[in-house]
Amino acid sequence: MQEGTVLPAQQVNRDLLRSILDPPGWFWPVVALLGLIVLVAFGAAGYMINRGLGVTGMNRPVMWAFFLTNFVFWIGISHAGVMLSAILRLSKAEWRRPATRAAEVLTVFSLMTAVLMPLIHTGRPWRTIYWIYTAPFVPYDFARGIWPNVRSPLVWDPSAIFTYLTSSVLFVMVALLPDMAVLRDRTTGIPHRIYGMLAMGWEGNSRQWKFQIIAGILLSALILPVFVSVHSIVSWDFSMTVSVKSWHSTIFAPYFVIGAVHSGVSAVAFVLILLRQVYGWQNYIRHEHIDGLARLLMFVATAWFYFFFMEVIFGFYGREADEIALRSFQFTESPWNIWMMIFVGSTYFLPMAIWLVRPARRNLWIMSIACISVNIGMWLERFLIIIPGLARKQMFTFDWGTFRPSPVEIIIIFATFALVTMLMLLFSRVLPLIPLYDIKEGDILKTEIQIGRRTVPATFRED
Amino acid sequence: MARRPILGLFQDANYAAEAGDALKRAGVDQGDFDFLTDAPYPEGAFGERHERHRLYVFPFLGALVGLTVGIMLTSMTQMAYPLVQGGKPILSLPPMAVITYESTMLSAIIFTIIGIMFESRLPKLKKGLYDTRITEGYIGVLVNTEEEKLSEVSAILSQAGAVDVVRENQDTARA
């Protein structure tokens, strides 16, 4: 699978640094619009903090709702990034080259956005300093000898996220060094000095390249187990809760991990399509790359569907009264049953129908629809796990409840999408979202071989 | 004897590799020249020497530090505030394992990054001879040699196919 032509290094620099050295005219108006949406959300969050959580739709028994749904959603998106990058690097998949950086950066920004959600959800964000327990030497009321309870998954969660965020940022920074040097050589004045400082004196000698390559492989191998642990631990926020019947399930960890990969890889595919269109990177993000991602997604989606099916069937099979009450709520009561159908259809059946057809996989509009559809579905999945579980948490019907989101919650959720888009755009304004050296390396290794009467493109690969 | 750098710029990897061979034949020590590129070439493509390193020690060392910190953090904090929950032991291993695992991995990754920086000899504070054309796809052969051998090395580089030979104090050197 290799459709691109070999491009000279100057053209690769010119094309891939266009977003930095020659930004398009729409750039700042779009960023301003997104910034405005984010500001409105900050206003909404400020209003909520001032007036209390009563302005949200949360009420007993549904005390975890939109914010935590969104938290799990963005954690899920963050998983694609490094996972995709790490697995493709380790397997030396040639089509990884344009996808890795965007995936890694999406990881960092979606993780940052995810972390905002529980902070807002607390209603008193300033008190969350006590959560930052995993960072050494942050005081946790030493004077009274009080320490966080390490037996609580709500303590495991920040420790896992902190590890994943730190690792992802370092991973991105190391891979950026050679591209910083390219920017250092193409800029003047203050930008030149800043890029020069960030490039740390990179000159591209044999030793530096050797360790850059080893770094990619070694860090990938180290981050993969962290990636698996993070979403497992996020799932344990729910599944370790004995009192909520539908959450207390052993299948949650793998189910959440595969769901995260499903939504995340779809998000990366969509981001790549967007980048191709807005920056004119047709030579770099080609149909073969999107096709490759779609094929990977077919496997991931089916694995996800298997876990989803197991989760539901286990719930029904036990025929326990509270579990049946919950399933009845999810599958028979309106509008939850409609959401359920939309969720399953948009997460699995619609995208699978698209991905099974080769021309559809190579049509960027259709692929965009499939990727957005998966993410709508995956957001609904978390919503339909969290809210119905709490709404039918109690045994007696007079303790049952429901949830209706308030405008404050809707604004904040909507703005998180604007925030991630804005951060991605701002990143693309200062640093390349496609690794230049990776593209150039791919071009160096490209060749053509004669097989019988046919000349086919090929790529050398080192073991 | 004063040593000076000289940089030959090549458009073709084969010519750069031939320049390396010619330098070796002329008695230039392999440690005295290097190849500067804008992308990773397969190891040994220019006949460069094998670089020895101890990078793999760093993650293990980091993991050991993280493991120790994780065990101490989880056990000592629980001992400091011994609250029994659900009849479970104060030092309950499964939850301790979760946090210890994260601290182990975090420390292993941080030490790996330190190792990569150390082994790559970065940050490089002293600016050497460089040409911005390297990030445009040219291959630089950077030679450090005695001052009186500069002309000889320059001739070797030119004969091997260098499109330009750059010496110190020229405008093309990095600012």
Total Cβ atoms within 10 A of residue A463? 3
* B134 part of contact set with chain A, CB < 8 Å: yes
Q: Least CA distance to B47: which residue of chain A?
A: A206
Residues contacting B138, CB < 8 A, separation 6+: B9, B10, B11, B38, B131, B163
Per-residue pLDDT of chain B (175 residues; tens, 9 = 90+): 688 899 999 998 899 999 999 999 988 888 888 999 998 888 888 887 777 888 889 999 999 999 999 999 889 888 888 888 878 888 888 889 999 999 999 999 999 999 999 999 888 888 788 898 998 889 999 999 888 888 899 999 999 888 999 887 754 444 3
How far is the alpha carbon of A392 from chain B, nearest alpha carbon, in Å?
25
Residues of A in contact with B124 (CB under 8 A): 200-203
Q: How many CB pairs under 8 A join A and B?
A: 181
The per-residue DSSP string of A179-218 comes to HHHHHHHH--HHHHHHHHHHHTT---BHHHHHHHHHHHHH
CB contact under 8 A, B99 and A166: no
Where does the pLDDT of residue A246 fall: very low under 50, low under 70, confident under 90, or very high at 90 and above? confident
Cβ distance B35 to A205 less than 8 Å, yes or no, reads yes
Q: How far is CA A139 from CA A124, A133, A166, A383, B100, in A?
A: 18, 8, 20, 35, 19
Is A166's CB within 8 Å of B43's CB? no
Sorted by where each starts, the structural domains of chain B and their CATH numbers stand as 3-39+137-167 (3.30.70.120), 57-119 (no CATH)
CB-based contacts of A18, cutoff 8 Å, min separation 6: A279, A280
Question: If you search the block for the tokens 């001739």, which residue do you land on?
Answer: B155
Mean confidence (pLDDT) of chain A: 87
Bond from prior residue into A335 cis (ω within 30 degrees of 0) = yes
> Which of residues 87 through 126 in chain B touch A, CB cutoff 8 A?
88, 92, 95-96, 98-99, 101-103, 105-106, 108-110, 112-113, 116-117, 119-126
pTM of the entire predicted model: 0.90
pLDDT digits (tens, 9 = 90+) for A93-113: 777 788 888 889 999 999 999
Write the CA distances from A211 to A233, A442, B40, integer angstroms: 32, 18, 10
Question: How many residues are listed for chain B in this entry?
Answer: 175
User: Per mean pLDDT, which range of A25-29, A194-198, B121-125 is the poorest?
Assistant: B121-125
Residue A414 has a pLDDT of: 95
Nearest CA in chain A to B83: A149
Domains in chain A, ordered, with CATH? 9-436+450-459 (1.20.1630.10)
Distance from CA of A154 to the nearest CA of B (A): 11
Residues of A in contact with B121 (CB under 8 A): 207-208
pLDDT at B88: 82
Q: Which residue of A has its CA nearest to B110?
A: A167
Nearest CB partner across the interface for A229, out of B102, B110, B127: B102
Tell me, rounded to whole angstroms, the distance of Cα B166 from its chain centroid: 24
User: What stretches of chain B show up as alpha helix (H) in DSSP?
Assistant: 13-25, 57-80, 93-119, 150-160
Note the Cα A117 to chain centre separation in Å. Answer: 15
- Nearest residue to A265 via CA among A234, A301, A230: A301
Phi first, then psi, for residue B33 (nearest 5°) are -140, 155
Give which of B7, B34, B37 to mutate to test A binding, by max A Cβ within 10 Å.
B37
Q: Å from B1 to nearest chain A CA?
A: 25
Contacts of A209 in chain B (CB under 8 A): 37, 39-41
Residues from chain A that touch B137, judged by Cβ atoms under 8 A, are: 8-10, 440
| Exposure on the CB side of residue A393, measured as CA atoms within 13 A | 21
In angstroms, rounded to a whole number, what is the distance separating the alpha carbons of residues A441 and B7? 22
Decide if A215 and B112 are in contact by the 8 Å CB cutoff. yes
Handedness of CA A104, A108, A111, A117 (dihedral sign): negative
Q: Is the peptide bond before A153 cis (omega within 30 degrees of 0)?
A: no
Q: Which tokens is B43 given?
A: 């190891």
In Å, how far is A408's CA from the nearest CA of chain B?
Answer: 35
pLDDT tens, residue by residue, A35-76: 999 999 999 999 999 999 999 888 888 888 889 999 999 999
Cβ pair B77:A219 closer than 8 A:
no
Instruction: Answer whether residue A332 shows pLDDT above 50.
Output: yes
Q: Answer whether B38 sits within 8 Å of A9, measured CB to CB.
A: yes
Question: What digits encode the pLDDT tens for the residues A4-18?
Answer: 677 888 888 888 898
Q: Which of B98, B112, B116 sits opposite A156 (nearest CB)?
A: B98
Chain B neighbors of A97, CB-CB under 8 A: none
Lowest mean pLDDT among A374-388, A405-419, B79-93, B146-160: B79-93
Q: ipTM score here? A: 0.91
Q: Do B46 and A206 touch (CB under 8 A)?
A: yes
Contact A81, A106 (CB under 8 A): yes
- Own/partner long-range contacts of A355-363 (Cβ < 8 Å, ≥24 apart): A355/A294, A355/A295, A355/A297, A355/A298, A355/A301, A356/A298, A358/A291, A361/A290, A361/A291, A361/A294, A361/A295, A362/A287, A362/A290, A362/A291
Q: Do B96 and A211 touch (CB under 8 A)?
A: no
Given an 8 Å threshold on Cβ–Cβ distance, is A174 in contact with B110? no
Q: How many Cβ atoms sit within 10 Å of the Cβ of residue B81?
A: 14
CB B120 within 8 A of CB A208: yes
